[in-house]
């Protein structure tokens, strides 16, 4: 492991204690082998002047729930050091009391709630304190003779702390053990089944000691834990099998869930090991992972059996306590054929579970090579999973957006109405797959809940791949927006080449038939029922001269949608159409085209744009919002409907 300390960067940023604290916290956060998703915290003890001009000793400690990688000054909570430190002298303190006292000791009421490890940071006498769950250290402390290994590697440079619950109990334990065992040579603490603390008199010293200690752990593993090379093949996970698993996971969770295929050869090799059932079931690398991964993965596909076992685990350890069971759905699934699958309420949650588990696999294998993987007991794990403060973190989420956990597929997603539909669906919490002929769709939105796939919708093979991509990225398709279409140059029937006609039919009609057929098994498995929205056209009820191919293709599509509404109602799938007109903020309508059309009608551009009954302009966003609403609860009992969004057209009315 390399130190990322950069003198120039540090000099620029480290103007005061807090800036330096932000800088080295980010350095830690940058390396996933040190810190994963909230799994670490840092602090600095500093002096601040209060409003009376009096100096006051402050502990700046990372706020709860934040991430070190992107932390800034506002991510740290300023606590009065003396009373925070004194809390460790109490014999007992509930989580609720601890949080209340933290709030009282904050010198800024707008600051985030401090990390649960704030008291540990307060009692360590050093100015700078860094804490991580570094992979290499956690691997060593999750072995049967972890304590001896720690003593062998670090001697008295590290004080060994047996596992206790994080928070107040850990602070009490450290307050008792550290003063007794620390020597002049001590640079930190190793926490069995948990992680590592380092400290120092400068930001750099504390950070470099972390790097040094973790590097020693890595070197130790290289000598003592030969891990077999990664073997396996990239997953060819069957899309329908993934969608079936997602349906079962969603049923058990009581809400739609995202399921992502890991596509990781090492994870697939792990899933196929003969001893996977034994080694994967003992527990996560550090207890805080339980929130993301549940106590253990599901092996195979029996989601209901997993849920039954989870209920039994809850009943065993919750006995007599007033706790509400979390949903019993698995978050990590290891299947010999499909490899690693992860589930989450959102695409981000599923991605985090995947990243955590991918990192856990080599840790388990290394520990197995050193006598066995021995994480904390189920009882200890349960205490963290059902910890008040962890529950509070989950509750803080508020009401999720309406399509949370659902998946939408949009064609023609790179521009115009399609692009607007992507935005409207993402804003409602859906994970979205966008297909487009334009390859820019792939890099259009770099976020975990969007996947852009280049696709020629007239190619059945590419469409099948597009549907498979949706299953692999998010677990299926719940909503389908049929938007891709072409509008050829105006041409009278007497001059219309068959080639043009066929081209328009192939994009506007045939491609949609193929996509409906390919998506049907997924839509049928949608946890809340499948929904299809067809972006039709005013030309369906009111065709235009010179637009025969376009008008006929849209009319035929309209009829196809009506028949699909009849055929698929029994599968719980709703299909509705939208008929937009004169949507000018699309690539089709350049400034020049607009000006020439307006002139042809003897109107200004403004008059031309609002040339409808309501005298209003229709935008891509108007169409997209209606499409998204049609997928929502407002239209839950509507299928086979056609709704104009055209500002009112006298030929249609």
**Minimum CB distance to Zn ion, residue 166 (Å):** 6
> CB–CB of 334/280 below 8 Å?
yes
* 3-state helix/strand/coil string of 598-616: HHHCCCCHHHHHCCCCCCC
- What's the farthest any 2 CA atoms get from each other in the chain? 98
Q: Which of 629, 388, 649, 411 is nearest to 513 (CA)?
A: 411
Burial class (CB in 10 A: 0-12, 13-18, 19+), 287: buried
The whole-angstrom separation of Cα 419 and Cα 248 is 31
Q: Give the number of residues in contact with Zn ion, rule: CB under 5 A.
A: 1
Least distance (Å) between residue 257 CB and Zn ion: 27
Name 462's Cβ contacts closer than 8 Å, sequence gap at least 6: 455, 456
Q: What angle do CA 215, 32, 207 make, to 5 degrees?
A: 50
- Rounded to the nearest angstrom, the gap between the alpha carbon of residue 68 and the centroid of all alpha carbons in its chain is 17
The residue number whose beta carbon is nearest to Zn ion equals: 195
The 10 Å Cβ neighbour count of residue 566 is 11
If DSSP codes are grouped into helix, strand and coil, which group holds residue 129?
strand
Name the residue nearer to Zn ion (CB basis): 286 or 508: 286
Q: Tell the smallest beta-carbon distance from residue 133 to Zn ion (Å).
A: 6
Query: Minimum Å distance from CB 131 to Zn ion?
Result: 6
Element (H, E) at 356: helix 347-368
Shortest Å, Cβ 68 to Zn ion: 12
The interface mask with Zn ion, positions 151-190, x = CB under 5 A, is ----------------------------------------
Q: Is 301 helix (H, G, I), strand (E, B) or coil?
A: coil
CB of 41 vs Zn ion, minimal distance in Å: 7
Cβ-contact 508, 550 below 8 angstroms: yes
Which of 195/330 has CB closer to Zn ion? 195
Nearer to Zn ion, 24 or 41 (CB): 41
φ/ψ (deg, to 5) at 456: -90, 110
Question: Among residue numbers 532 through 561, which ones bind Zn ion (CB under 5 A)?
Answer: none
Query: Nearest approach, Cβ of 283 to Zn ion (angstroms)?
Result: 15
Please name which of 514, 518, 620, 534 lies closest in space to residue 574, comparing C-alpha atoms: 534
**Nearest distance from residue 391's CB to Zn ion, in Å?**
18
CB atoms near residue 141 (< 10 Å): 26
Task: Pick the closer one to Zn ion by CB: 124 or 253.
Answer: 124
Please pick, among 37, 386, 550, 608, the residue that the annotation labels catalytic: 550
**3-class DSSP assignment, residue 73:** helix
Q: Which of 132/280 has CB closer to Zn ion?
A: 132
Q: Considering the complex, state which of residue 174 and residue 271 has its C-beta at the smaller distance from Zn ion.
A: 174
The yes-or-no answer on residue 178 being catalytic is no
Nearest to 425 by CA among 438, 436, 411: 411
Q: Report residue 582 as tokens.
A: 């004169």
Measured from the CB atom, the residue of 195 and 488 that comes closer to Zn ion is 195
| Of residues 197 and 306, the one with the C-beta less far from Zn ion | 197
Scanning 192-200, 342-350, 572-580, 585-593 for contacts with Zn ion by CB under 5 A, the matching segment is: 192-200
Give, as ranges, the residues between 193 and 212 that touch Zn ion (CB under 5 A).
195
Burial class (CB in 10 A: 0-12, 13-18, 19+), 91: exposed
CA distance 434 to 427: 15
Q: Decide if 328 contacts 311 (C-beta within 8 A).
A: yes
Site residues for Zn ion per CB under 5 A: 195
Residues noted as catalytic: 550
């Amino acid at each position: 492991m390399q130190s990322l300390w950069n003198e120039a960067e540090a000099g620029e940023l480290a103007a005061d204690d807090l800036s330096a604290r932000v800088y080295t916290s980010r350095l830690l956060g940058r390396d996933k082998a040190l810190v994963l998703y909230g799994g670490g915290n840092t602090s600095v003890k500093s002096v601040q002047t209060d409003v009376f001009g009096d100096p006051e000793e402050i502990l700046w400690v990372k706020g709860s729930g934040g991430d070190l990688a992107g932390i800034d000054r506002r991510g740290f909570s300023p606590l009065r050091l003396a009373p925070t430190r004194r809390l460790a002298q109490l014999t007992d303190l509930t989580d609720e009391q601890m949080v209340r006292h933290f709030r009282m000791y904050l010198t800024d009421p707008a600051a985030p709630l401090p990390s649960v490890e704030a008291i540990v940071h307060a009692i360590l006498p050093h100015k700078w304190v860094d804490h991580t769950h570094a992979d290499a250290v956690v691997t060593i402390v999750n072995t049967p003779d972890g304590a001896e290994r720690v003593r062998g590697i670090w001697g008295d440079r590290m004080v060994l702390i047996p596992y206790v619950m994080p928070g107040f109990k850990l602070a009490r334990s450290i307050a008792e053990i550290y003063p007794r065992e620390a020597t002049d040579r001590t640079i930190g603490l190793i926490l069995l089944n948990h992680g590592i603390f380092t400290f120092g008199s400068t930001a750099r010293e504390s950070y470099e000691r972390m790097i040094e200690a973790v590097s020693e752990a890595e070197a130790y593993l290289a000598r003592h834990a030969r891990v077999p090379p990664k073997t396996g093949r990239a997953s060819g996970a069957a899309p329908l099998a993934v969608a079936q698993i997602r349906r079962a996971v969603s049923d058990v969770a009581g809400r739609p869930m995202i399921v992502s295929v890991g596509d990781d050869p090492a994870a697939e090799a792990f899933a196929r090991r003969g001893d996977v059932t034994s080694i994967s079931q003992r527990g996560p690398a550090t207890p805080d992972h339980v929130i993301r991964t549940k106590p253990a993965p599901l092996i195979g596909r029996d989601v209901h059996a997993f849920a039954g076992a989870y209920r039994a685990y809850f009943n065993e350890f919750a006995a007599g306590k007033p706790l509400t069971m979390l949903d019993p759905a698995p978050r990590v699934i290891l299947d010999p054929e499909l490899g690693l699958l992860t589930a989450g309420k959102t695409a981000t949650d599923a991605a985090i579970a995947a990243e955590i588990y991918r990192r856990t696999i080599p840790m388990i294998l290394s520990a197995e090579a050193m006598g066995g993987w021995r994480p904390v007991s189920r009882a200890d794990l349960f205490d963290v999973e059902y910890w008040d403060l962890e529950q509070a973190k989950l509750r803080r989420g508020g009401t999720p957006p309406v399509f949370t956990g659902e998946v939408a597929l949009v064609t023609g997603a790179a521009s115009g109405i399609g692009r607007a539909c992507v935005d409207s669906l993402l804003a409602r919490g859906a994970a979205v797959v966008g297909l487009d002929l334009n390859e820019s769709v792939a890099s259009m939105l770099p976020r975990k809940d969007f996947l852009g796939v280049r696709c020629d919708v007239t190619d059945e093979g590419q469409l099948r791949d597009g549907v498979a991509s949706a299953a692999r990225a998010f677990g299926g398709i719940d909503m389908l927006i049929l938007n891709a279409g072409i509008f050829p140059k105006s041409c009278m029937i007497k001059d219309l080449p068959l080639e043009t006609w066929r081209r328009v039919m192939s994009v506007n009609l045939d491609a949609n038939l193929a996509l409906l057929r390919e998506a049907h098994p997924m839509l049928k498995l949608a946890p809340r029922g499948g929904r299809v929205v067809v972006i039709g056209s005013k030309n369906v009820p009111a065709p235009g001269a010179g637009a025969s191919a376009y008008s006929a293709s849209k009319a035929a599509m309209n009829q196809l949608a009506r028949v699909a509404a009849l055929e698929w109602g029994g599968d719980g799938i709703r299909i509705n159409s939208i008929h937009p007109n004169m949507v000018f903020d699309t690539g089709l309508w350049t400034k020049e085209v607009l000006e020439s059309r307006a002139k042809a009608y003897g109107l200004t551009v403004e008059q031309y744009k609002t040339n409808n009954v309501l005298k209003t302009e229709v935008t891509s966003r108007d169409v997209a919002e209606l499409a998204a609403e049609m997928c929502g609860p407002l239209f839950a009992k509507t299928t086979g409907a056609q709704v104009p969004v055209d500002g009112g057209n006298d030929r249609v009315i």
